[in-house]
Amino acid sequence: MKAVLKKEKGVGFVIEDIPTPSIGDDEILVKVEVASICGTDVHIYEWNDWAQNRIKPPIVVGHEFAGVVVEKGREVKRINVGDFVSAETHIYCNHCDMCLMNHREVCRNLKILGVDIDGAFAEYVKIPERVAWVNPKEIPHKFASIQEPLGNAVDTVLAEDISGKTVLITGAGPIGLLAIAVLRVFGATKIIASDLSNYHLEIAKKVGADVVVNPLEQNIHDVVLAETHGLGVDVSLEMSGSKSALRDALKLTKYLGRVSLLGLFDKSVDVDLTNDVIFKKLRIYGITGRRIFETWEIVSSLLSSKRLDVSPIITHEFKLEEVDKGIKLMKSHQSGKILLYP
Ligand SMILES: [Zn+2]
Ligand SMILES: [Zn+2]
């Protein structure tokens, strides 16, 4: 089968013919119909510090996908050949303390598809049955691969009730854009989005941001305070992993407000906890992965009900072989979500 590989250490991917995976007793083989590029794939491509420490080439990359089950192992009961599935990409162990407490998103023995084991940028991918999510029939197939990042967005937005709240979202890349669309559906009343890419901000407006701000062109403090009667927002969602965005988010969240953090920071960050968090009694949530499978239920029904329109966020669709083109677009911040078809 055709597959996109991180073949060796260093920058880039290689497209190669490799044997189709053979499955174990508790696994299923899926013919990939659509996949999507994630920031993680870009990091693996670029071979950044994180990738150098984590990735052991050769490995098939890619983790966001949807496709049809073509084969199942002897012990597989819940999933059938012919099912249209997506996958929880965090392969949890099911026996550590976190898994036993139904917090599989922070499983201590987590393996990630396309990071620790062969992934989905290929004609076929094998996954354990336990991480397969059977998609509702009504779901547009084209959108089925983006449920995984959409789940990140949903958990970031819904760490607490969001209805009637004013919200600042720092970072309007693909997941930030998904979060804006989710905020709209769940009833946020004013959505202010910041990003350094005007391309991202144009899409942010299309999916429901009321105000957009590019901190390279405008003072974000002035904009947010002007939009919130000088008080700041009820909720901030940090999706960029930028230190200055985090500091802005903390400063611009009003007293008794909530901050959800999804963006990952390269290094430790200095923040004024005393003034910006403690004296304001903020609540801060770290968000990682998705609730398995509570979030999947929400995400699937948002898409199958057509209540959430993600089409403005999908900006490019390429053949799998054109993955390099997609990665370069992502790096230039001139894209939303990019789909790949094997
Ligand atoms: Zn992803
Ligand atoms: Zn576990």
Q: How confident is the model at residue 139 (pLDDT cuts 50, 70, 90)?
A: very high
Tokens for 259, please give them. Answer: 């901050």
Q: How confident is the model at residue 124 (pLDDT cuts 50, 70, 90)?
A: very high
Helix or strand or coil: residue 264? coil
The verdict on whether 103 is a catalytic residue reads no
DSSP string, 94-119: S-SHHHHTT-GGG-TT-EEBTTTB--
Residue appearing with tokens 């979030």 = 295
Tokens for 115, please give them. Answer: 């990071």
Q: For the stretch 93-125, what's the b/e string if a residue is b when 16 or more beta carbons lie within 10 angstroms of its beta carbon?
A: eeebebbeeeebbbbeebeebbbebbbbbbbbb
Which residues sit opposite 112 in a β-bridge? 90
pLDDT at position 307, please? Answer: 95
What pTM did the predictor assign? 0.97
User: What is the 8-class DSSP label of residue 336?
Assistant: S
pLDDT at position 106, please? Answer: 97
What's the half-sphere exposure (Cβ side, CA atoms, 13 Å) at 20? 11
**Cis before 58 (ω within 30):** yes
Mean pLDDT score, 74-84:
98
pLDDT at position 114, please? Answer: 98
**Ligand of minimum distance to the alpha carbon of 38:** 1
| Sequence-ordered list of residues with C-beta below 8 angstroms from that of 340, at least 6 positions apart, any chain | 34, 35, 36, 37, 62, 121, 317, 318, 319, 320, 322, 323, 326
**Cis before 13 (ω within 30):** no
- 180-205 pLDDT, tens digit each: 999 999 999 999 999 999 999 999 99
Domains 2-150+290-341 and 160-286 share a fold: no
Bridge pairing between strands 233-238 and 211-213:
unpaired
pLDDT at position 47, please? Answer: 97
Amino acid identity at 187 = G
pLDDT at position 298, please? Answer: 98
- N residues, the chain: 342
Distance 89 CA to ligand 1 centre (A): 8
The CATH number of domain 160-286, selected from 2.60.40.10, 3.40.50.720, 3.90.1150.10, 3.40.50.970: 3.40.50.720
Distance 243 CA to ligand 2 centre (A): 31
Mean pLDDT score, 109-134:
98
- 251-304 pLDDT, tens digit each: 999 999 999 999 999 899 999 999 999 999 999 999 999 999 999 999 999 999
Superfamily grouping for domain 2-150+290-341: Medium-chain alcohol dehydrogenases, catalytic domain (3.90.180.10)
**Ligand of minimum distance to the alpha carbon of 41:** 1
Distance 81 CA to ligand 2 centre (A): 27
User: What is the 8-class DSSP label of residue 224?
Assistant: H
pLDDT at position 228, please? Answer: 98
Could you state, in order of their start, the residue ranges of all structural domains in the chain?
2-150+290-341, 160-286
The verdict on whether 40 is a catalytic residue reads yes
Distance 84 CA to ligand 2 centre (A): 26
